[in-house]
Structure 1
Amino acid sequence: MPLIDMPLEQLYAYQGRNPRPDDFDAYWERGLAEMRAVDARIEIVPSDFTTPAADCFHLYFNGVKGARVHAKYVRPKGAKEPHPAVVLFHGYTGSSGDWFDKLAYASLGFSVLALDCRGQGGRSQDSGSVVGNTHRGHIIRGLDGEPDDLLYRQIFLDTAQLAAIAMSLPEVDPEEVYAAGGSQGGALAIACAALEPRVKKLAPVFPFLSDYRRVWEMDLAKGAYEELSTYFRMFDPQHKREEEIFTRLGYIDIQHLANRIRGEVLFGVGLMDTICPPSTQFAAYNKITSKKRLEIFPDFGHEGLPGLQDKIARFFLGLY
């Protein structure tokens, strides 16, 4: 089999390269306390998009640092109450997407909440300095300030807050809330279930935002990870702060959150992935201690993985 990374037996043993800050747990407990203290001011507004099978809404809430965060909310008509819900997360720089693709889950009796990440392609605010989109540079946004100002800290907390909001909806069974997404969305599914451990099942696919130093050492700080290279070239061209920088990135490295997950995990990976290298994904997968299974696609990279979405749907239905 061709290799762009380690052999499979080494991948299963790999524990990651990026440093974990000494105060990592205290950092996230402080963040969760800040999130829980927010007056969320939840607002649910009917959408212009209507369908006979489901009701569609824009859901808004206040997140940490004063941002107004948006998610699409699709509620099936005629579903039993309470019923399961799926929280969905999108890829880097994207958005929650069209209403149409949420209807598949609604047809199975699931409510769906699909987050717009702050400052990316949807309606959520990036309140760090501007209202509106900042689109790229999110890994390094806040890297030169206090660790609590890292943008992905706020986005990770948004995922947990949205899952908790889903659990609070009267039509949703709080013990049957699931999380899913690919690439950045896969990373956010992991962060969501780590920071809101009541998430019962999650299905991350080729997750982003893991093991930054490994990405750098493989010379794959390109594409989605290009801002790592840009940061060093512009602000630390001789890498005199390399250890400091990677340690600070460790606060928002999903591999260090993975052991907090309590839900059951179905994890998809393509072994030819040059966007999110397999070893960086295994760094997170190998730290998950809850029930888990891995779906491996040896000849596939960062692309659609045939049949995987069907397996994820069956996994959430308890049929796989």
Structure 2
Amino acid sequence: MALFDLPLDQLRDRRSSSVEPADFDQFWTDTLGQARQYDLDARFERVPTGLTTVDSYDVTFAGYGGHPVRGWFTVPAGATEPLPVVVEFIGYGGGRGLPHTHLLWASAGYAHFVMDTRGQGSAWSTGDTDDPVGSGPAVSGYLTRGVDDPYDFYYRRVYTDAVRAVAAARSHPLADASRTVAAGVSQGGGITLAVGGLVPDLAAIAPDVPFLCDFPRAVTLTDNLPYREVGTYLSAHRDRKARVLETLAYFDGVHFAARGRAPALFSTALEDQTCPPSTVFAAFNAYAGQDKQIEVYDFNGHEGGGPHQQAEQLRWLPGKLAGIKEA
């Protein structure tokens, strides 16, 4: 794999051509308002794991449409006082897996909430959350489910679940709501950007190699999945390009970034053909918060910085949380 996108000096000024819908804010206000009609009903059940350094909880809460969404909540063993909480979102095709696979943040002294992604979790880790909503004809995968109408689009449900996941995490007595962080890689990074734009009082966000950004460029630049799902769909539905791009604009990380204010640590990789660096820089450059930085991994693909980026997050985050008083 070699460099295939714009040179780095051009990436640093890259802006998206995605057109923000005139009713973008109203669409999301209405969507989240409908979700709040359902009791959050967050339930935490302690589960035995054989681990001695952390305590793990099986979580269920009401997401979009009141549908049950699963998750794991993990804290340092024996914690008694509220902790800063990292709410994590998962990459494409994955599910929440097993609790012992989520140890990083609790090991660093944080509460950690990982949200299962509805309908996913059979590609590389297991999931436990159904998506009971159907859609019209779609390409295999998730990116074209309901793509002809923003009200039916799959990610309307996922982003709503994610906002509700933040509320669920904050509802636990060991979570300090004032020090809530959103984080994720790839699809999880795109969801993180959406949450950063929809939840106004986050303490920080950390989107790594984010997916779901700058759709007009992404779906025409790379042949890699998942973005290629859109091209495949349009190769059959040849009269629907404008309609599809209009739908995707309601879910574009670029537009959520324009509403984000929390300190942000992005990452991108210059050989990433899954989430091309120009699409990531489009979101980064649109990000409205003044306290933002991006780590660039020159010779990496979609793995991005991997453990090196995790180490950077562990160094970066305490400074962003320092001085925030417990809620």
Q: Same fold (TM over 0.5)?
A: yes
Contact (CA 8 Å) 2:272, 2:304: kept in 1 or not?
no
Aligned partner of 2:169 in structure 1 is 166
- Where in structure 1 are there 5+ consecutive unaligned residues? none
> Where do 4+ consecutive residues of structure 1 move more than 6 Å?
none
Contact (CA 8 Å) 2:139, 2:145: kept in 1 or not?
no
Aligned partner of 1:280 in structure 2 is 279
Aligned partner of 1:176 in structure 2 is 179
Q: Count matched residues.
A: 311
Q: Secondary structure at the match of 1:120?
A: coil
When normalised by structure 2's length, the TM-score is 0.89
Deviation of 1:46 after TM superposition, in Å, equals 2.3
Distance (whole Å) between structure 2 residues aligned to residue 217 and residue 193 of structure 1:
26
1:5-58 superposed Cα distances (whole Å, 9 cap, x missing partner): 112222122211233222111111111211222212222222242422221111
Distance (whole Å) between structure 1 residues aligned to residue 113 and residue 250 of structure 2:
26
Contact (CA 8 Å) 1:186, 1:208: kept in 2 or not?
yes
Contact (CA 8 Å) 1:118, 1:155: kept in 2 or not?
yes
1:187-222 superposed Cα distances (whole Å, 9 cap, x missing partner): 11111221112221111110001112102332x143
Contact (CA 8 Å) 1:66, 1:127: kept in 2 or not?
no
Aligned partner of 1:126 in structure 2 is 131
1:260-284 superposed Cα distances (whole Å, 9 cap, x missing partner): 2121101111011111111111111
Q: Within 5 Å, which residues of 2 pair with 1:16-35?
A: 16-35=16-35
Contact (CA 8 Å) 1:164, 1:196: kept in 2 or not?
no
CA-based RMSD of the aligned residues comes to 2.1
Q: Secondary structure at the match of 2:197?
A: helix
Deviation of 1:116 after TM superposition, in Å, equals 0.7
Q: Within 5 Å, which residues of 2 pair with 1:85-104?
A: 85-104=85-104
Distance 1:312 1:135, change over 3 A: farther
Distance (whole Å) between structure 2 residues aligned to residue 165 and residue 211 of structure 1:
29
- Once the two structures are overlaid, the 10-residue window that deviates more, 148-157 or 8-17, is 8-17
Q: Secondary structure at the match of 1:174?
A: strand
Distance (whole Å) between structure 1 residues aligned to residue 163 and residue 95 of structure 2:
18
Contact (CA 8 Å) 1:204, 1:268: kept in 2 or not?
yes
Contact (CA 8 Å) 2:64, 2:158: kept in 1 or not?
no
Distance (whole Å) between structure 2 residues aligned to residue 276 and residue 258 of structure 1:
16
1:113-158 superposed Cα distances (whole Å, 9 cap, x missing partner): 101101000111202039xxx99532211123x4222110110111
Contact (CA 8 Å) 1:178, 1:200: kept in 2 or not?
yes
* Matched AA of 1:128: V
Aligned partner of 2:325 in structure 1 is none
Distance 1:287 1:53, change over 3 A: same
Distance (whole Å) between structure 1 residues aligned to residue 295 and residue 304 of structure 2:
13
In the alignment, does 2:63 pair up with 1:58?
no
Distance 1:9 1:166, change over 3 A: same
Distance (whole Å) between structure 2 residues aligned to residue 143 and residue 231 of structure 1:
10
In the alignment, does 2:170 pair up with 1:140?
no
Distance (whole Å) between structure 2 residues aligned to residue 4 and residue 178 of structure 1:
33
Q: Within 5 Å, which residues of 2 pair with 1:244-263?
A: 244-263=243-262
- Once the two structures are overlaid, the 10-residue window that deviates more, 272-281 or 27-36, is 27-36
Deviation of 1:285 after TM superposition, in Å, equals 0.6
Distance (whole Å) between structure 2 residues aligned to residue 307 and residue 95 of structure 1:
23
Q: Secondary structure at the match of 1:149?
A: coil
Contact (CA 8 Å) 1:160, 1:193: kept in 2 or not?
no
Aligned partner of 1:38 in structure 2 is 38
Tell me the percent identity.
35
Contact (CA 8 Å) 2:71, 2:114: kept in 1 or not?
yes
Contact (CA 8 Å) 1:194, 1:258: kept in 2 or not?
yes
Distance 1:317 1:79, change over 3 A: farther
- Where in structure 2 are there 5+ consecutive unaligned residues? 122-126, 322-327
Contact (CA 8 Å) 1:19, 1:246: kept in 2 or not?
no
Aligned partner of 2:124 in structure 1 is none
Distance (whole Å) between structure 1 residues aligned to residue 223 and residue 30 of structure 2:
30
Q: Secondary structure at the match of 1:173?
A: strand
Contact (CA 8 Å) 2:63, 2:165: kept in 1 or not?
no
Contact (CA 8 Å) 1:93, 1:136: kept in 2 or not?
no
* Matched AA of 2:130: Q
Deviation of 1:316 after TM superposition, in Å, equals 2.1
Distance (whole Å) between structure 2 residues aligned to residue 32 and residue 303 of structure 1:
32
Q: Secondary structure at the match of 1:78?
A: coil
